Every structure is written in structure tokens, then in C-alpha cells.
A and B are shown apart, each in its own frame.
Chain A
Amino acid sequence: MARRAGPLTPVWPGLVLAALVALAVTAPLAALLARAGTAAPGPADWAALRFTLWQAVLSTLLSLICAIPLARALARRRFPGRDALVLLLGVPFVLPVIAGVLGLLAVFGRNGWINAGLAAVGLPALSPYGLQGILLAHLFFNLPLVTRMLLQGWQAIPAERLRMAESLALTPRARFAHIEGPMLRAVLPGAAVVVFTLCLSSFSVALILGGGPGATTLELAIYQAFRFDFAPDRAAVLGLLQLTLVGTAGLVALWLVPAAQAEASRGRVLRHWGGGRGFDAAIITIAALFLSAPLVAVLLRGAPGVVDLPPSVWRAAALSVTLSVVVAALVVIMAGGIALAALRFPLLEITALPGLALSPLVLGTGLFLLVYPRLSPEALALPATVLANTLAALPFALRLILPRLQQAVADHGRLAASLGLSRGIWFARILWPALRPAIGLAAGVAAALAMGDLGVIALFADADRATLPLQVMRLMGSYRSDAAAAAALVLVAISLTLFWACERVTRDA
């Protein structure tokens, strides 16, 4: 019998990693609970809770209402540029929020393109600030997500059903009732709760477009409790409110949404059906303009200033790249280790789930309470940023990697064991090729999201050390809009490159 280097699926590293994750989650939470004690939320805190829920409900409804006709039009129409548009739908997912908001301001601001048009025909100006601004930004970021989920739903409708509907000459209403309705009923609740959860924990959008007492979300209130009032007790109370809210929504989301789709299908086009060609064309045109205009605005406004950017921006960029590479590596190592252990102990996957509910600001608050005043908050800024981003990406990465690992072990495990393969060969020849695409996507998403993250860092950063998103915000704040746009353009370029590079080098041959 050949000597093996050890079991093919080591369990111990994963158990240790899972224990570390559990500790990283529970320790800050315990600190929050201890600090909040019996303190009750005040009127301003309840107002923040109400606004958080209200804007999330409206944002979700708006995203669904707009996504249904768009996904339907994309599912049944073929036109030049369709593939590019579907690709564009993937961009907001990895687009740094601050860059998107900057673009939206250029388009919808009082001096923006839209208001210039409105003024030309004598209409009153729209303001991108407050509730309407937050809704607009949430629509920009979530419409593509819902559209992609629905598009997959439409494309999953069996072709023979559509043919049958055609041969039976069903009225549009009957076709909707029998074919599209059931699909929407299956997909929409999941999409709704995902968008709702995302909007509950939206921070950057509310930070830039909200802010006044009438437009303060819980996340923003936590930030203000720290940076404006220095009231850690209130931050702890707000943190627990936010945790309960997002945790509940996150659990519902997990329960309603099927396992993450690793590959977004560009997908087949369904046979053209039904009329409404003009309507579809209008919907597609408006959506394409809405989603691309902010990106074009950042490009046009930012490009001339890139060469003149101050060194502080490049230092911030270097720091951000370093952080996001560290996050991506940590995510892959932890997800891989935990996935291996989860083969034996399936419940281990649960350890990663709190990452869905633990918003960066809640985590940051907890960490601060743990170390204060032994360590200065600046010392916490970078480690907390890495931790928050790693924990946030972990559930997503596990959901990508674990099914593929299970498949690979089921397909090859027994044979490999009987052949007495060494662990090295097993990992290099069997597991790596099988897991490569999932690892690449997980690393790419983790790196891109960490690159664009503006959360914990805003809480603790000092003046000298900033990540690129924070630097963009500071430039916006010191009325250097052109430099801000240029830095945002650099940020977008790096984020997309990181995502593309990770995804590209590990793609199936």
C-alpha cells in the first residue's frame, strides 16, 4: 500500500479557521451587547430606523417595477449591442459605490445633464439629495441585479411551453397568467429580499446623498454617533438595531434565494413573442442610458485630470490595492479551508453566515469597543477594514466553492484514495482544476468589493492614511470635483481590472 501524505481532505485547518471566524464575529458582538446594556434608543434613533426601513421598501419596489419590463424586453428581443448591455448589467455589482454616486451627481445634479435639459424646456430642477437621491442611487445599483435574476428566470422557461402558448394563440393576459406569472412568483420574492437587505445596510449612498436629519439611515447614524457626537453607547445601541434588522432580512434572503449562480449566463434569446416592440425598445433605451450615463460622466469628467492627480491619491490607490489583494487571499484561504472541513461537518458553512448580517460599521463599532482605549482607533482602521471585507465575502465565496468541492470529491475522491494519490497531486491535479473558476470568481469579487469599500475606514481613518474611496470622498468634500472624478476613474479602473484579472486567470480553459 502506497504511503500517503495524509487524508485527502484535511479537516483541522478548516476547523481552526471556522473557530477564528466565529471568534471574530462573536467578540465584537459581545462588546456591543455589553456596552449597550440597558440603554434605550432615543427619538433620533427611531427616526433613523424608520427612515432605513422606508427607503429600503421604496428602493426595492422601484427596482422590481423597473426590472420586470427590462428583463422581459431583454429576454425576448435580439438587437445589436444586447450582449454589451447584459455585460453592463454586471458592472454595478463590482463598481465602487462612491464612483457610481459621483457619476449620478454629474448626470442628475442641479448642474447635471438632466437638469440642463429640464431647464431648457422650462421645467423645475430635480435635486439628487435626500430621499429621492438615495432612491435613485439604489435603483442604479440594484436594477441590474434584479434584471439579471429575472432574465435568468425568463430564460429558464422551457421553450416548448412558449411554443405551446403560441400554438394555442394565448392572449397576452393568459400567457402571463400561465407562463410568466408563476416564474415571477418564484423569482421575485428572493430578488426583493436581496435588494431590501442591501438597501438596509447602505452607507456610502446615504453618507453622500443623505445626511440631513430627514435622510439618515442606521448605518449613517452609527457613523455620526462616532464622528460627530463621540457617543459609543449610542453607536452600540444603533449597532444592535441594525444587526437585528439586517440579520433578519439576511436570513430570509438566504432561505428564499437558491444557491448563488456562479456564472451569469449571457444566455439564449427567447423566441420573439408578443407585440409591444416599441415599448420594449423604449425600456431598453432608457435603461441603457440610465446605467451607462453615470459611467460615461465619470470617464469624461475624470479622464483629463488623471495625469495631474496629487501623490496622495496614488498612495491611497497603492494602499487600497494592497488591502484588496490581502482580502482576496484571505477569503480564498478561509473559504477553501472551511469548505474542506465542511465536507465532513456540513454545518460549518453556518459559521460564515453572520458575515451577511454584520455590517462593516457594526463590526467596526464592536472592534472599537473591544480595544478602546488601549489602542488608538487609527491602529484599528486597516485591520478592521480587512476583517470586515473578508467576513462579508466569506459566505459568498463558500457558496461558490463548496458545491464544486463536493462535486470533485464525489467524482474523484474514491478513485484517488484507491490509487493512493499523494496530497500534492490530489490538490494540484484534481481539486485546483475543479475549483479554479469558483476560486477566481470569489477572489475577483472579494478584491473588487474591498477596493471600493467605504465603511470601517471612514469611521477610524486619520488624515494621513486613506483608502482610495475615502480619498475620493475627501476630494469631493474639499470642492475639488474634477480631481475627485479623476480619482474615481482610477478607482473604477482598478476595481474592474482586479475583478477581471482574478476571473480571467482562473477561467476554465
Chain B
Amino acid sequence: MSRAEVAEPSAEAAEAVGVRTPGPLWTLGLLRNELATTLRRWRTIALLGVLAAVPVLVGIAVKIETSDGSSAGGGGGEGPAFIAQITNNGLFLVFTALAATLPFFLPMAVGVIAGDAIAGEANAGTLRYLLVAPAGRTRLLLTKYATTLAFCVIATLVVATSALIVGALLFPLGELTTISGTRISFGEGLGRALLIALVVAASLIGVAALGLFVSTLTNSGIAAMATTVGLLITVQILDQIPQLHAIQPYFFSHYWLSFADLMRDPVYWDDLIRNLELQGLYAAVFGAAAWARFTAKDITA
């Protein structure tokens, strides 16, 4: 039983007619095309706009609250992580903004993009044209996933950059104190901020894979987005229920806040590594499931 027979019927058909063999460059072209299409959508721009607005809101709120000399967050440590330190150092706004957007805004945006990836094309009736081009289903799926991951990075960097600009405008910058109480230079702080942004982006790998899988299940883009975001909320709620502590370490969102461990000195790697392993596992499981579903699916639209 040669699997290729069914694996890529369209690609095979194309090859059989001798149109052309897709090379690596062609794949890159497909990826670039996908990226451009995704990023040019009004929906995507609006999502990024909302994400960029979060640090602005947080920054202004903290500025107003602390203008009378009181400390942010009521002084008791409430609110998103690091919020109490923003007034000392604007760089902390980057961490606060990421901590504030990671539980919901960022994964929701990623869920929208990932859920739309396949189902949206099917909904618009463009999926079959994509497959008629000698893309191949596996290749198309990988390209879609790569596009979603690129969006994860872009979205995180948008939040971080916006936070850095707002932080620099409203608050002093300079040497910063890690949460362990030691001091690091501003340059190293910037480096850690970048690292944190990348870790946050990597934390979204699991949601992206999950969204892509859901997207292959349905032909309705809206349904796929809603399901992904719904799953996201459900998992976040389940992660708060103490009785479920036995399974919580396997929720994709369980170690999300571990990015804060990068602000310890020395860095506490245990949870960070567990987070990355977990995201890798989700990518493997749901990526494979999406592949199994998508390559075996009847494309009718």
C-alpha cells in the first residue's frame, strides 16, 4: 500500500501531468504569500492594534494611579505580575504587559488566526484552489502552521515593543532589580525582555497547534475560532480548580507564567523547560492529528 497514492492526490495529479515539482524556494514563496495575506487582513491588523493598546492602557493607568505617590497595585501585590515595579523602571511595563496579555489576549488572537487557517479557506471556497496549485496538503498544512507561529512571534513583539515605548515615555529607565533582589544593567534587562518575549511566543505554540487541528475539523472559520477560544477559556478555568491538580501540569496554559522565572537571578529553568517541553508535545500531538485529518479529508470547498 503506497501511502502517497492518497496522501497528496492533488499534488500527485499535478505531478502526473508534469506541471512542475515544487522546490524549497517555491515553499518559501508559499509561506511569504500566506504571511502577507494573513498580515494584510483587517482582522489581523485589528487584533494587533488591540494587543498594542493593552500596554498603553496599563501604562497610563499605573501613571495616573501613582501620580499621587502611592504604589501601584494597591501595594499588596495585586494585579498582573511586576506591576508594582513599573514606576521604578519602565522596562517592567514590558513584563507586566506580557503577563497581562498572555492569559487571554495573546492566545485569543492566535486562536483566531489558527482557527481561520484551514477552515477559513474552506469557508471562502479558496482551499481547493490552494491545493490545485502544486502545494500538497502536508506542505500547505506546514505553511499554515508556520504562518500561525510567525503570527505568535509578531503579536508578542507588538505587545513588547508597544510596552517598551510607553514605558520609556512615561517612566524612568535604567538599571533594574530582578525579582530576586539583585541588580542587572539596563542592557541585560533589555536582553532578558527579548528572551521573555520569545518564551511568551513559544508558549503559544500549543494553542496554535490546537487551533490548527480544530481548523481542519470544520469548514466554518467562525466555528473553528470559537471552538479554539472556547477551549482556551475552559482550560484556563480548569487550571484554577484545585481538585484537578493531578492533571493540571498537562494543560497547555499551566506553565505560561513561568516566563517570569527569567527575571530571577540566577534564572530558574525548571518550569521554563517544562513549559517548552509541554508546548512541543502539544505541537507534536495536535500537529500530527491535524495532518491525519487534513490529508485524509474530502475537500469539497
Pairing of A with B: no
